[in-house]
C-alpha cells in the first residue's frame, strides 16, 4: 500500500489540522504548595482564613496536585467528607497522609475537603476546601445536553461525497491514531 506523498495537498491539510489539534491541548499540570506557605500548619490569629482565601485564588483542574509540607512528628493531612469538614470530625477520614511531604492528585471534578489530622487543629481553621470545576473547553458529562430536539437537522452530506482512495484512508487512519496516541501521552504525563 502506497502512502500519500508529503507534497499532496490533502496530506498537508491533515498534517496542519493535526498540528493545530496538538496546539489546542492543555498540557499544563500544576503542583500547588498548599497555602503558599513553608509548611501546612495552624493559621495565626491574624490570618485565620488563610487556606480559604488561598483556595479561592486558584483555578484547580484535573491533573493538578496539592502538596502539603509539614513536620510528620507534629501533624498530618486527612481528606474528609463535607459533613466531617464542617463539624471538624477527624475520626473517619477518606484518606490519611502523614509523611510530611504529602501530595494529593486531582483526578476528578468536584469538591475536596482536607483538614489536619492532629486533634484541635481543624477547630483552629487548619482546613482546606478545594473546588474543581470544568473550564472553557472542558467536557463534563453532567454539563452535556442529554438529547437533541426531535426536529434537529441532519447534515450527513453537507460537503458532498468525497472520493477516498485506500492510500488516503490509510493516511487518515494513521494520523488519527497518532493524534489519539499523542493526546494520551500528554494526558498521562500530567498524572
Phi, psi dihedral angles at 24 (to 5 degrees): -80, -15
CATH number of 31-132: 2.60.40.420
pLDDT digits (tens, 9 = 90+) for 7-55: 777 767 666 666 555 555 555 789 999 988 768 999 999 999 999 999 9
pTM for the model: 0.60
Cα gap 191→11, rounded to integer Å: 33
Question: Within the chain, what is the greatest distance between any pair of CA atoms?
Answer: 74
Which residue ranges of the chain lie beneath pLDDT 50? 137-170, 187
Instruction: Show the cell assigned to 109.
Output: 471534578
Within 49-165, residue ranges assigned H as helices are 50-56, 82-87
Amino acid at each position: 500500500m502506497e502512502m500519500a506523498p508529503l507534497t499532496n495537498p490533502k496530506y498537508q491539510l491533515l498534517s496542519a489540522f493535526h498540528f493545530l489539534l496538538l496546539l489546542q491541548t492543555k498540557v499544563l499540570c500544576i503542583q500547588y504548595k498548599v497555602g503558599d506557605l513553608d509548611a501546612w500548619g495552624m493559621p495565626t490569629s491574624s490570618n485565620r482564613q488563610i487556606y480559604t482565601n488561598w483556595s479561592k485564588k486558584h483555578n484547580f483542574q484535573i491533573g493538578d496536585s496539592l502538596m502539603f509540607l509539614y513536620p510528620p512528628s507534629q501533624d498530618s493531612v486527612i481528606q474528609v467528607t463535607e459533613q466531617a469538614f464542617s463539624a471538624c470530625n477527624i475520626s473517619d477520614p477518606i484518606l490519611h497522609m502523614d509523611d510530611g511531604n504529602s501530595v494529593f492528585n486531582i483526578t476528578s471534578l468536584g469538591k475536596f475537603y482536607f483538614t489536619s489530622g492532629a486533634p484541635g487543629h481543624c477547630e483552629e481553621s487548619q482546613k482546606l476546601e478545594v473546588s474543581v470545576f470544568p473550564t472553557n473547553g472542558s467536557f463534563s458529562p453532567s454539563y452535556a445536553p442529554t438529547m437533541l430536539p426531535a426536529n434537529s437537522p441532519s447534515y450527513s452530506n453537507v460537503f458532498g461525497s468525497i472520493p477516498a482512495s485506500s492510500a488516503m484512508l490509510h493516511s487518515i487512519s494513521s494520523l488519527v491514531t497518532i493524534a489519539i496516541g499523542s493526546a494520551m501521552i500528554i494526558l498521562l504525563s500530567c498524572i
